[in-house]
Structure 1
Amino acid sequence: MNDLEAGISASDPDWKRENPQRFWDPSRKFLRSIRRYQHAMETQTFWAGIARRKWALTHQFWSLVTQAEIPKATRLGGGLLLPHPNGVVIHPEAEIGPNCIFFQQVTIGAVAGKKGLPVIGGHVDIGAGAKVLGPVHIGDHSVIGANAVVTKDVPAYSVATGIPAQVRPR
């Protein structure tokens, strides 16, 4: 059964995907530190200030453990999975939709001389080593192949592979 048949939503986040499954679960604990920091930023109380500091330190710890660079203020859709978070880099102003999966060494970032950043739709799978660069939009339920370099829009329900990425229907 493929993911489309499994009914993974591109709009409704599945928050259970981010819950730590065991004591040593670096990627999920890293995401939890980002989520809790963002929640503490929404509240302006004394205790929220302490919580912000705690979650900022926790974020630093898990950033070192996972070797991932995802800033605390990044807009991440719920249900994000990072099975192998090593080397994942996400620009702080990029937008990530719900229920995505990013494998190791994925980069979501800007291109020098171009304005705009990637907007990743819901339920997008990005393979190991892939780069999504510049003002591109990746449609819902798309797949970006391993080591692909995406610099142009990818429509929904598509597969992008190669350098530069070639797009075909899923």
Structure 2
Amino acid sequence: MRPKVRSHVILVKSILDYQRFVSRTDWLGKGLKLYASLRHKFWSTITASDIHRLASICADLDLPHPTGIVVHQNAIIGPRCVLMQQVTIGIVASGIAPVLGSDVYVGAGAKVLGGIHIGNRAWIGANAVVLEDVPDDCTAVGIPARIIHRI
């Protein structure tokens, strides 16, 4: 039985490989950076996603359905986060990108925009448009998102 290809794992690995080799100036480092860049472009095309190679992500980022995900280059995504399909992590006029804490779940189609902080263990509902900070252990739902404190 052939093992299942997990494209999102390979996409995240290509981003982390690129970041590891980006500062190397020797010929091997440049070759490895080029290889990681080509892998990133290939898997970005396959998954129809646009996660910038310089975005700060953790190796355990989970993209169960990686189609249509957009992550700005200045975004910071903490450990064990889950981004569903069609999620955008981006900027508004200020040019500052969001910071996601650890164990954040972002539902399908959600938009997290601007220089905001999403707290640890926060949930962002499907199709929510989040423009303000979300505290730890809270849920944000709606357009624009409103904060619901979980007990």
Which band: TM-score by shorter chain?
over 0.9
The equivalent position to 2:11 in structure 1, one of 30, 48, 70, is 30
| 1:48 has 2:26 as partner | no
Q: Calculate the TM-score normalised by the size of structure 1.
A: 0.83
The equivalent position to 1:129 in structure 2, one of 105, 109, 112, is 109
Question: 1:89 aligns to what?
Answer: 70
CA displacement at 1:64 relative to structure 2:
0.3
SS in 2 for 1:135: coil
Larger relative contact order (CA 8 Å, sep ≥ 6): 1
Partner Cα distance (1:78, 1:64) in 2: 20
Encode CA deviations 1:17-72: one digit per residue, 9 max, x unaligned: xxxxx452111111111111111124332211110111111111001000010111
Partner Cα distance (1:43, 1:100) in 2: 29
Partner Cα distance (1:166, 1:68) in 2: 27
Contact 2:74 2:96 in 1 (8 A): no
Aligned length: 148
CA displacement at 1:78 relative to structure 2:
3.1
CA displacement at 1:152 relative to structure 2:
0.7
Encode CA deviations 1:84-140: one digit per residue, 9 max, x unaligned: 01000011011111110000000011113x242211111100000000011111001
| 1:100 has 2:81 as partner | yes
Partner Cα distance (1:146, 1:92) in 2: 23
Stretches of structure 1 that go unaligned for 5 or more consecutive residues are: 1-21
Q: Percent identity?
A: 43
- CA-based RMSD: 1.2
Contact 1:78 1:97 in 2 (8 A): no
Stretches of structure 2 that go unaligned for 5 or more consecutive residues are: none
Question: 1:164 aligns to what?
Answer: 144
Question: 1:80 aligns to what?
Answer: 61
